[in-house]
Structure 1
């Protein structure tokens, strides 16, 4: 019996630790989605979140587990992508910037303090 109680308690704790709530937020007086993603039990965003413009097009996505950001042009093509520090917005690691047609414009690498350590640009 003690083992059963311990197992139930353990499963309850695990469920609470991994509980997530889907959160969809809409523009005021509209059915147009503004942002969508999951919150952990403490109300913090987890996993992939998507953010939209008022015309319904995606503007950016963030994976809050990895702090990976992708921004998009209004035409839906990828604009830039890379990892950042959420508290400061500081770019870290490799960042790639694209033109509106999806071609790479530049690639930059930043250290853990956000200082650019390499840069490569392409010309049209």
Structure 2
């Protein structure tokens, strides 16, 4: 089962959307991690076997580059309001479910138009 941890830059409403689809989901605020640096969140993400959900691609791509196995990273690329976050997150969840719900080692990116892309990250061939 995918365990989602949602970054504080995204609405806690995303967790309700995930729950409604059968996913386990937490928001960093609920875990007492509000205002923690990305590096401070990292042990919780990896140690908790969480798929991290963020719109902060740059910082988290750097962190994920250093691990061989992870539970996945879901990036909502544009910085948008709650209603749009929910729409894009729902598109990502639909795509994850359609793909069989295993995104271990995957980077899942959602564009403004709702296009969802999957790719191995880090790329074992070094084509990041």
Point out which structure has higher relative CO (alpha carbons under 8 A, 6+ apart): 2
TM over 0.5: no
Q: TM-score range by the shorter chain?
A: under 0.3
Larger radius of gyration: 1
**What is the TM-score of this pair, normalised by structure 2?**
0.26
Q: More strand by proportion, 1 or 2?
A: 1
